[in-house]
Amino acid sequence: MEALPVTLVDYGVGNIHSLAKAFEIAGAKVSVESDLSRTASGRCLLFPGVGAFGKVAGQLAPIRRQIRDLLEAGTPAFAVCIGMQILHESSEEGEGEGIGLFPGRVRRLAHSRLPHIGWNGVRHDASGPFRGVAQSSFFYFVHSYAPSACGEGCIATADYGGPFAAASVRASTWAVQFHPEKSSEAGLRVIRNFVEFAGERR
């Protein structure tokens, strides 16, 4: 079977290589695109983390509307950590406008100890990303901000000083606050689920 072509959108954040490697293990062929004007040519997009909302919003500002149009039209996309946050409307972390695919504002976690680093259980609805993933499986998080409400599109939550959205889905976009590439077999299963899902839409 031909490998799924995935365009990793390089907007200047860290940790792109381990994420790309995990997708390749799952059956994708990842190309890193730092020329954001060429992002629209990608048939499947990958929005990585770790990073800061304001910086990423600034990087994506020239193509913000274009990206939202692509995602609303059904272009498969997978977003991780800051990648998930930037798909929302705005953030307490910094200025700038998000893509707005998901409604709401990203907020600072209410816990007294930040950042939230380490393993945490995730409650999910067993659909899409979590097909075949045991309920309350543990995933690896590194963040201080997250969508605080489980609103439109939210399919999973975690708790750290209060509940927050751990995963959301809209159209063909899957977004997770945790790092699946660092989350052992459960995380790799989420990535494999997306590669299979996106491959069926080619």
pTM above 0.85, yes or no: yes
pLDDT tens string 174-189: 999 999 999 999 999 9
Query: Helices 16-25 and 184-199 meet at what angle, rounded to 10?
Result: 70
In terms of Cβ atoms closer than 10 Å to its own Cβ (0-12, 13-18, 19+), residue 7 is buried
Extract the runs of DSSP E, i.e. beta strands, from 49-172: 77-80, 90-91, 105-108, 116-121, 123-124, 138-143, 145-147, 154-159, 163-170
Q: How far apart are CA 64 and CA 59, in angstroms?
A: 9
Given this model, what pLDDT does residue 2 score?
84
Could you give all domains of the chain from N- to C-terminal order, each with its CATH number?
Answer: 4-199 (3.40.50.880)
Query: Measured between alpha carbons, how far is residue 67 from residues 46, 60, 94 in Å?
Result: 12, 9, 20
Tell me the mean pLDDT in the region 121-129. Answer: 97
Contacts of 200 (CB under 8 A, 6+ apart): none
Our answer to whether residue 181 is catalytic in this structure is yes
Name the active-site residue from 116, 124, 143, 179. 179
Given this model, what pLDDT does residue 75 score?
96
pLDDT tens string 61-84: 999 999 999 999 999 999 999 999
Name the active-site residue from 33, 44, 81, 124. 81
pLDDT tens string 97-109: 999 999 999 999 9
Q: How far apart are CA 132 and CA 106, in angstroms?
A: 29
Name the active-site residue from 33, 143, 154, 181. 181
